[in-house]
Amino acid sequence: MPVYFHVNSFTNVPYRGNPAEVVILTEDRPTAWMQQTAAEMGFSETAFVRQTQDGYSLRWFTPKVEVDLCGHATLATAHVLFQEGLLGKQDVAYFQTLSGQLTAAWQDGWIHLDFPVYNPQPAEPPQAMLTAVGVKPTACVQEPGGRWLWEVATEQEVRNAKPDFQALGLQPGRGLILTAKTVQGDFDFISRYFAPWVGINEDPVTGSAHCLLAPYWAVKLSRLSFKAFQASTRGGELKVNLDGKRVHIFGQAVTIVKGSLLV
């Protein structure tokens, strides 16, 4: 009988950050069952983790599709493994995923995720996409997987954006990051993440988006370490370091619910 956990990621306060479901499997389950379970859960991501000889198999599903990388559900999974004593605080979690091997480690009350870098390239979005989002970006880039990153002039433009999600989802892409440099406060940049293409109009806090944000802001700000804030309604905080072809993301998490699946 699979055990599941409802976890808030990238926060140390309940009901903030990004909620994810983590399902611990003791045997293989069909992909169709995982997708149905994720749809039933209804969260932006449900993670399915199973111990193997070389660590853990980890897969992520939105209510509509399987995805190749998810930061907040990986953080939630690592949090559960450390919290439940399945891994000691001195251990490293090795996850075998569609994005290759990922690792997670406990470090001074934070969980350290080691993720790949997504290299952005300049790209020109179609006018219909600009109209759907309703902002005037100062720079636009895109990574090979289809996700866009648009920088806008001010933090307030990021916070005030109100995309037409139906129209946005008809445009080419897989996700859209809006970002701006901050001029006051504790953070270096803020962002929001929209993904109607995969059934998530706005994701509260998106670890994988920072695989694109880190190299982008490294060039813009001439530095390799950042404090970042994702300005969704729930909000979330991350520490991010760029190290060559890897991005180190640090986050915290809180468990809200633990239960059992009966099917």
Best CA proximity match to 210, nearest among 144, 114, 107: 114
255 burial via Cβ count (<10 Å: 0-12, 13-18, 19+): middle
Answer whether 256's CB lies under 8 Å from 1's CB: no
**For residue 158, pLDDT beyond 90:** yes
Rounded Cα distance between 253 and 230, Å, is 15
pLDDT tens-place string over residues 180-190: 999 888 899 99
Give the contacts of 240 (CB within 8 A, at least 6 positions apart).
210, 213, 214, 225, 226, 227, 228, 247, 248, 249, 250
pLDDT level of residue 225 (50, 70, 90 thresholds): very high
DSSP letter (8 states) at residue 196: G
Is residue 45 part of the annotated active site? The answer reads yes
Q: How many CB atoms lie within 10 A of CB 224?
A: 15
pLDDT value at residue 183: 87
What value does the mean pLDDT take over residues 213-235?
95
Residue of 21, 27, 40, 45 marked active site: 45
CA 34 to chain CA centroid, nearest Å: 19
What value does the mean pLDDT take over residues 3-26?
95
Amino acid at 15: Y
pTM: 0.88
pLDDT level of residue 119 (50, 70, 90 thresholds): confident
pLDDT level of residue 1 (50, 70, 90 thresholds): confident
Answer whether 213's CB lies under 8 Å from 151's CB: no
